[in-house]
Chains A and B, each alone.
Chain A
Amino acid sequence: MNLHGMWAIYYSELSRMWRTLFQSIASPVISTSLYFIVFGAAIGARMEQVDGVSYGAFIIPGLIMLMLLNESIANASFGIYMPKFTGTLYEVLSAPVSPIEIVIGYVGAAATKSVLLGLLILLTARLFVSYQIEHPLWMLSFLILTAVTFSLFGFIIGVWADGFEKLQIIPMMIVTPLAFLGGSFYSISMLPPLWQTITLFNPVVYLISGFRWSFYGQADVHIAVSLGMTLVFLLVCLTLVWWIFRTGYKLKP
């Protein structure tokens, strides 16, 4: 095991975040605060409680998930795309580091950053609404599991992308719509029966539902199903990453 190599990648990636600390933290915190102001304070005040939870508190898990998915994908995809783009990836490929160590370095750094931001947004939310966390360990586990899974997904996008437009296209065209339609701002029980069924094909529903359960003990789908679906997506991402390194896809001619 090349621990120094793994740490070198992880540290270097986190240093990049440190260099851009203001935009790394300020941007997601400000945009999430705006959501709380608009949906939580302005509109939420006129809305009824959802499943016995005030609307402002209800949207916290969804908003954190929305940010977590976008940040995990953005950080991890950019992390691996940049060395590809600048050509510095030659050094990682020629170093005695295994694919697993490379992935832990890049994905670990992206997930670390996302989890820290998630916790920061949780603290920011306290400024606007009061909330409770019934299962704090499960909350943390879901946060970490989702960050790791979507950082892996971002890593795959970063390897696949051969231009900056492609880096943006999947988060913008697929992930954000799925997150909005996955129950960030509502419970899927509020939808007509047909749409409830259709919504169950959206994988983000399971992430948000499971995460919301860790806060309020209530969920759109059973916690075990949420956990299972998240693990399935993790497994799919791991399989794709394994295939990338096995074939050298877009990394090694």
Chain B
Amino acid sequence: MPGSAEVVDAVIRVAGLSKTYASGFQALKSVDLQIRRGEILALLGPNGAGKTTLISIICGIVNPSGGVVMVDGHDIVRDYRQARSRIGLVPQELTNNLFDTVWATVSLSRGLFGKAPDRAYLEQLLRDLSLWDKRREKMMALSGGMKRRVLIAKALAHEPQILFLDEPTAGVDVELRRDMWNMVRGLRERGVTIILTTHYIEEAEEMADRIGIVNHGQLILVEDKALLMRKLGKRRLTIQLQQPLHELPASLASQALELSADRCSLVYSFDAQGEQTGVADLLRSLAREGIEFKDVNSSQSSLEEIFVGLVHGSNQQREQA
């Protein structure tokens, strides 16, 4: 299985995890995953893929149907106190006790996780999240962005070693998104393991050390981001032509070469890792055919393209099965 490769210092070990809801919907199908201590793992997947169910089971909000989850060596069912005390969760929905003040709700979170009150720590936390001035305000008076910050403060109130962020930047403005990315990097520097689910591929590309792709309740891939980009990334060579071309000469006909819609450029896709990229042959063929070009540039395919390709491939496999 994609996530079952043995990780030496895994802070979370998920083995054969499955979940079937009472409605009969199978949200997870024997998922194996090991999460390294101190890494940022991004879980990508379409809506309903099972990302939130996976997180919810690890955090104790949803009962698993089968399988085992160990958090820092502690079983989440048998030894739930030890397991849960290490975890902080920022949920997807903006759920808040509307009538509580910021200070009260953050204090409640710290207490729930068994920590003695620590005014200095909470003050610093609220200052770091630009919430200190709002500490006496009721939750209902805060903007959506501020409520999101409070949810993060609540998740961090008990100084967790592992932080789950379930679509943390969904619907937040650019400034807050950048603040969150900085905060996540800061936490990672302090040794906190971070698992985030996101729809924003750029977020995963920007932040993650590893990428996991979930589709139809299965983990179809877990890979180092850089390795994934290298292994699956296609490079694309765009050749701007001097004159529009009506059609590709027969000698150039190939699946890898396409004429753009405006017939002013040729787009050639190739495997960046391959021994023979075919670029030199292509350029020689163009010269032979007397096709002149004015510019050439190449680009790496983005994680988004890789993601779409993998999910599409996984869906096709399912349909064939």
By a beta-carbon cutoff of 8 Å, the part of chain A in contact with chain B is 2, 4-5, 7-9, 11-12, 15-16, 19, 82-83, 86-88, 90-98, 248, 252-253
Bound together, the chains give a CA A253 to CA B62 distance in angstroms of: 5
Given A5-B113, A5-B114, A94 and B108 contact (CB-CB distance below 8 Å)? no
**Is B95 an interface residue when CB atoms closer than 8 A count as contact?**
yes
Bound together, the chains give a CA A82 to CA B97 distance in angstroms of: 9
The answer on a CB contact under 8 Å between A97 and B91 is: no
The answer on a CB contact under 8 Å between B112 and A9 is: yes
The answer on a CB contact under 8 Å between A86 and B113 is: no
Majority-rule SS of A interface residues: helix
**Pairs A–B under 8 Å by Cβ, sample size 29:** A2-B81, A4-B110, A4-B111, A4-B112, A4-B114, A5-B111, A8-B112, A11-B108, A12-B97, A15-B100, A15-B104, A16-B99, A83-B97, A86-B95, A86-B98, A87-B91, A87-B93, A88-B95, A90-B89, A91-B109, A93-B61, A94-B61, A94-B89, A95-B112, A96-B80, A96-B84, A97-B112, A97-B114, A252-B62
The answer on a CB contact under 8 Å between B63 and A90 is: no
Bound together, the chains give a CA A61 to CA B223 distance in angstroms of: 70
Q: Which residues of B contact A7 (CB under 8 A)?
A: 111
Instruction: Scan residues 75-124 of chain B and give those whose CB is less than 8 A from a CB of chain A.
Output: 80-85, 87, 89, 91, 93, 95-100, 104, 107-116
Bound together, the chains give a CA A149 to CA B91 distance in angstroms of: 34
Q: Which residues of B contact A16 (CB under 8 A)?
A: 99
Closest-by-CB residue of B relative to A95 is: B112
Q: Which residues of A contact B59 (CB under 8 A)?
A: 90, 94
Shortest beta-carbon contacts, A-B, top 8: A8-B111, A87-B95, A95-B112, A96-B81, A96-B84, A94-B59, A2-B114, A96-B85
**Is B154 an interface residue when CB atoms closer than 8 A count as contact?**
yes
**Is B21 an interface residue when CB atoms closer than 8 A count as contact?**
yes
Given A86-B98, A88-B95, A91-B109, A96 and B114 contact (CB-CB distance below 8 Å)? yes
**Is B261 an interface residue when CB atoms closer than 8 A count as contact?**
no
Given A90-B89, A94-B59, A94-B89, A8 and B84 contact (CB-CB distance below 8 Å)? no
By a beta-carbon cutoff of 8 Å, the part of chain B in contact with chain A is 21-22, 59-63, 80-85, 87, 89, 91, 93, 95-100, 104, 107-116, 154
Bound together, the chains give a CA A16 to CA B138 distance in angstroms of: 13
Bound together, the chains give a CA A8 to CA B108 distance in angstroms of: 5
Given A87-B95, A94-B61, A96-B84, A253 and B21 contact (CB-CB distance below 8 Å)? yes
Closest-by-CB residue of B relative to A93 is: B61
Given A90-B91, A91-B112, A248 and B63 contact (CB-CB distance below 8 Å)? yes
Q: Which residues of A contact B21 (CB under 8 A)?
A: 253
A sample of 18 more A-B contacts (CB under 8 A), given A16-B99, A94-B60, A253-B22, is A4-B114, A5-B111, A5-B114, A7-B111, A8-B107, A8-B110, A86-B97, A86-B98, A87-B91, A87-B93, A87-B95, A90-B59, A90-B61, A90-B91, A90-B95, A91-B108, A96-B85, A252-B61
Bound together, the chains give a CA A4 to CA B99 distance in angstroms of: 22
Q: Which residues of A contact B99 (CB under 8 A)?
A: 16, 19
Bound together, the chains give a CA A82 to CA B96 distance in angstroms of: 11
Q: Which residues of B contact A8 (CB under 8 A)?
A: 107-108, 110-112
Residue with the greatest number of chain B CB neighbours at <10 A, chosen from A8, A93, A94, A253: A94
Q: Which residues of B contact A248 (CB under 8 A)?
A: 63
Q: Which residues of B contact A9 (CB under 8 A)?
A: 112
B84 in complex: contacting residue of A15, A87, A95, CB < 8 Å: A95
Q: How far is the CB of A8 from chain B (nearest CB, A)?
A: 3
The answer on a CB contact under 8 Å between B154 and A4 is: no
Q: Which residues of B contact A87 (CB under 8 A)?
A: 91, 93, 95
The answer on a CB contact under 8 Å between A92 and B97 is: no
The answer on a CB contact under 8 Å between B112 and A92 is: yes
